Structure 1
Amino acid sequence: MRWLRTGLSVLALFGFGLALGQQLRFIVVTHGQAADPFWSVVKNGVDQAAREMGVRVEYRAPQTFDMVQMARLIDAAVAARPDGLVVSIPDANALGRSIQAAVRAGIPVISINSGADVFKRLGVMVHVGQEEYL
């Protein structure tokens, strides 16, 4: 999960103003549940990167593929004011408003897995993942 460590490193650069000893906190919101075979690898990578970097990371996902619930999870993450937010963007129309709210709140946002075609438009710093075109 080298890409995740890279992404968290980018976000960690924004934490330079933290008080000495204060731990950075990131929230990851994806459309995939941690029990899913693909997303369990992502979740394990998130956990490993957090341990290696000495940061706190919370992984959140809706119970099912539910964009309304995912938008709510992003909104809750914004309200929690993390040092950074990592999101997948399977549906920019459904999630765009919530992601843009994070950007407006000054929370650094990166996207993973899906969203290569829309991340710039939403104000996301960087996308880590594949293009979704054949």
Structure 2
Amino acid sequence: MNCPRCDKVMTQVHPEGAEAQQCPQCEGHWLEGDDLRRVESTVNVRLFEWRKLPSQEVQVRELPCPRCRPRAVMKKVRSERDQHVLLDVCERCHGVWLDGGELRAIQEMGFVAAVADAVRFITQK
């Protein structure tokens, strides 16, 4: 399968026990089925969050689904875990494209944000 962003052949990787295809050039990831939920369920708390996301200009470009034939344009959806991450979702096969850096962004949370989440959770009870 070729990368929808730069058309390079992707290789299989296993982030957090999920199956994904990764582009060797742009480091984007293609996930299918429940693999995105598996990846999102992992939260790595870091003292400092360091995000390296593509520019907004790059994120808003329409991308074709690498799985479907004929190639359908994927829908843009904001990540529930990180509002700076704009996912590309195929409405036909339900595959998801994450640009380089987006996978890490949805998995990591800064220490201050983690404490704030914990306080919100405790005060809701």
With normalisation by structure 2, the TM-score equals: 0.29
From the two aligned structures, give the one with the greater helix fraction: 1
Q: Which structure would you say has the larger RCO, counting Cα contacts within 8 Å and 6 or more residues apart? A: 2
